[in-house]
Amino acid sequence: MGRGGKKGTVTPRELNPSPRLKRGPKMGKRRKMKRKKKKTDMEELKKEVVLDDHKLTLEELSTKYSVDLMMGLSPERAQEILKKNGPNALTPPPTTPEWVKFCRQLFGGFSILLWIGAILCFLAYGIQVHYKEDSTKDNLYLGMVLAIVVMITGCFSYYQEAKSSKIMESFRNMVPQQALVIRAGEKMQINVEDVVVGDLVEVKGGDRIPADLRLISTQGCKVDNSSLTGESEPQTRSPDFTHENPLETRNICFFSTNCVEGTARGIVIATGDSTVMGRIATLTSGLVVGKTPIAAEIEHFIQLITGVAVFLGVSFFVLSLILGYGWLEAVIFLIGIIVANVPEGLLATVTVCLTLTAKRMARKNCLVKNLEAVETLGSTSTICSDKTGTLTQNRMTVAHMWFDKTIYEADTSEEQTGKTFAKGSTTWFILARIAALCNRADFKPNQETLPIAKRATTGDASESALLKFIEQSYSSVKEMREQNPKVAEIPFNSTNKYQMSIHLQEDGSQAHVLMMKGAPERILEFCSTYLLKGKEYPMDDEMKKNFQNAYLELGGLGERVLGFCFLNLPSTFSKGFRFNTDEINFPMENLCFVGLISMIDPPRAAVPDAVGKCRSAGIKVIMVTGDHPITAKAIAKGVGIISEGTETTEDMAARLQVPVSQTNPREAKAIVVHGSDLKDMTSEQLDEILKNHTEIVFARTSPQQKLIIVEGCQRQGAVVAVTGDGVNDSPALKKADIGIAMGISGSDVSKQAADMILLDDNFASIVTGVEEGRLIFDNLKKSIAYTLTSNIPEITPFLLFIILSIPLPLGTITILCIDLGTDMVPAISLAYESAESDIMKRAPRNPKIDNLVNNRLIGMAYGQIGMIQALAGFFTYFVILAENGFKPIDLLGIRLNWEDRFFNDLEDSYGQQWGASLGGPLRWFLPGPFLLHLDASKPS
């Protein structure tokens, strides 16, 4: 294509070559600048989101975006901004055409060695045909077979990896299609692509947020930010500035997150690639991914084999010339020796071995998208794991209760068989009734046959946890609600921090009961009495102290704590009374405090054992979560990421009763790093933490920080595996040596960015994958060693054929029979070898030292087993020829006469003369026994 012109045309600039020469350095400079700019852009994207719109007052916001907060933009102004900024859409990155991907499979890695072998064979055949009329077609057949092998394995590998990266498509699926905007005071439904900065947008429950919004008014609005921040519970939104961090404040809604309930109005502050989601999409698709460990190993292997082949080829080329062979024959010998060193069946063996392991891993809930990732998992030395859904069950569960001044433990196991506690206490009956009735969660219909713990619910995570717990531990919530119908309610909101409901009492003397739950300190403010073993007592300082201790203990375990209280309303509030929840017309003070219930997303049962296995296998497990540090630390201790008896700096400070600043962080084996601290750290400080602490938890992290943590681990020389399920995890998943997405809870984006998908979302499956990865490395080593042992018995007949001028013991066709026939099946069968007993007790292999093919393996395959096979083959060769009249000493120098089809008086050791008609069958028979003895002497 002409530069600066249309296809097929030549511009005046191209007719004159001199300006092009002058532009050369400039073009190089421009390219360098482009690369530098791209690198700078990527570094910018890795930084935290810088926003100040959430801090602005409404007047300042109106001035900044030149918009009327009631009327919105005018249609004309909106069109101007659309022309200037472009559509509100994510820019797709340059994609790799399918034919390029196919060519990479066909010509990349090990395939290139076989192609070189095939080309050399065709070259040798061409030279022979040109200079000899009666040349054999052995080299032609060998070249054709090599080309066919590469094509078949290339097609197979391409087919296996056809489900290649579609990251941007996944991001596009998350983009809403329509948006409700207010322009010139009129509400209008427009395409999301037409939304511009400054637009006044209205969203309601069920909508997807069309752009990054600064909220100006809300009514009970909650958004699901889980795809962006990893927080599983819906987050309340309000027009108030509540946090410095734009990701934490309540007055910002983010592009492509979901509004789950309520309504809100906001001003668009960013569109398309400028949004927080757009930045993550650009960062994910722009990341450069390094070579997988197995790809690096195969490259190392190719260099070794090529080095050996070229060394032998050149040595015998020089030797041939010294021995008096012509240059033509010497070149044929050179090509022959190089090709003989190429293990023709190895590419197919490696591909099939990896595929078999991938299928075996799929049966164990590890779905591998990229064949090379099979081995990468086995090389992993650091796992950066997300918390929610991977280490935990991804469902809030009641963990503890505090009533009658005692803490009781609930059952948090996945089966929830139910631990016993003081179920006979009257206080428990009342606590259970409040938890069931002052609760908006409900079971979805037609699930009666399922265990209670597995039933799907409507309502938020905490209320669903209470619903399931009461259903299991007390009685049917449905029946309770039927007997005590709800007549009034104040839903939970972030201002009040409580939820109140009034119920009719069918079985009591008083008509109504008021029930309340919420933040413990807020609930205590409403109470003047407390319940102890079914009896009311006035609230006193001792009770308040007990309450404070229990609250701190449960909160310190990383659990979400709720307080519960009630009030039997006076008889004046009889059946039929109209309760007004806007203008309160009923008492809401002097309530009776009942107790506390705390909830947590509990660890999966198999995780502590899996973390223990990782530790014994020398793998460092780091928790990287968007959750609160206290919760993260509690779960880390529960699953063994922070082992028993290990202290963090905070624990040391508490023990020594000194401020945290006075402790030496290096003395603490474990550390919990807050995202706000990580934000201000340099790369060197992060490296220091990763180097000096063996047990690490990163909490309240942003998507960019997850990526920075992964890069930090890679700087330490670690092979990093990352687990994640949200859009926020996708940059880290892409950058990791192996990204592992969740199959059940994972977003499409995370699944596309990852190399492997956990079908059961269970961390324990990763450990199984690590074991399989280590096993395939061991087995590939055995397969390669087995295959390489044939090289010496294949090369030595050719070398003795040149040096001693004896009849050729092994032809090209026989070599192919060995490499693609008798060797391949046993080599593949080694993929089924079971693991060594210490496979998960060894430290992860060091990719720099522990290679797939090392000098020791080459030495054993070539110098030991290969030599034994060659001796076995030659023993048979000499025995057969001796039986037919040719003693070994008489074979020297007879090559030319032996191969001449017109030479009919070849004399053997006993004076017999052999003609072409007698010697021909012997010639064809010789390679067979050589091959059989070569295979018989292979290690079984």
What count of other Cβ atoms lies within 10 Å of the Cβ of residue 244?
A: 11
- Cα Rg for the chain, rounded, in angstroms? 37
Please report, for residues 276, 366, 732, 756, the alpha-carbon distance to residue 741 in angstroms, rounded to integers and kept in the order given: 21, 10, 11, 6
Contact indicator for 171, 731 with CB cutoff of 8 Å: no
For 400, residues 6+ apart whose C-beta sits below 8 A from its C-beta are 407, 408, 409, 410, 554, 557, 559, 596, 597, 598
Cα–Cα distance, 168 to 91 (Å, whole number): 8
Contact indicator for 888, 882 with CB cutoff of 8 Å: yes
Burial of 420 (0-12, 13-18, 19+ CB in 10 A): exposed
Cα–Cα distance, 147 to 118 (Å, whole number): 6
Burial of 286 (0-12, 13-18, 19+ CB in 10 A): middle
**What is the sign, positive or negative, of the torsion defined by CA atoms of 283, 285, 290, 294?**
positive
3 state SS of 564: strand
Exactly one of 386, 404, 729, 748 is catalytic; name it: 386
Please report, for residues 462, 488, 497, the alpha-carbon distance to residue 458 in angstroms, rounded to integers and kept in the order given: 11, 20, 21
Strands 382-385 and 720-724: parallel
Contact indicator for 250, 57 with CB cutoff of 8 Å: no
Q: What is the DSSP string of 211-261?
A: SEEEEEEEEEEEEE-HHHH---SPEE--SS---SSTTT-TTEE-TT-EEEE
End-to-end CA distance of the chain: 59
Residues in the chain: 940
Q: Which residue spans within 271-396 are E strands per DSSP?
A: 366-368, 382-385
For 126, residues 6+ apart whose C-beta sits below 8 A from its C-beta are none
907: phi > 0 → left, psi -120 to 50 → alpha, else beta; which?
beta
Q: Tokens in use for 840? A: 């998960």
Q: Tokens in use for 673? A: 């790093």
Cα–Cα distance, 786 to 343 (Å, whole number): 11
Contact indicator for 713, 384 with CB cutoff of 8 Å: yes
386 is catalytic: yes
Cα–Cα distance, 838 to 618 (Å, whole number): 12
Task: Write the single-letter amino acid at 286.
Answer: G
Q: Which residue spans within 867-935 are E strands per DSSP?
A: 906-907, 913-914
Cα–Cα distance, 739 to 732 (Å, whole number): 8
For 667, residues 6+ apart whose C-beta sits below 8 A from its C-beta are 652
Cα–Cα distance, 731 to 32 (Å, whole number): 25
Q: How many helices (H) and strands (E) does the chain have?
A: 36, 28
Q: Tokens in use for 33? A: 């600048």
Contact indicator for 544, 523 with CB cutoff of 8 Å: no
Which among 180, 45, 164, 57 is positioned nearest to 104, based on CA atoms? 164
Cα–Cα distance, 119 to 104 (Å, whole number): 18
Cα–Cα distance, 367 to 375 (Å, whole number): 13
Q: Tokens in use for 388? A: 């929610």
Cα–Cα distance, 26 to 17 (Å, whole number): 15
Annotated catalytic sites, by residue?
A: 386
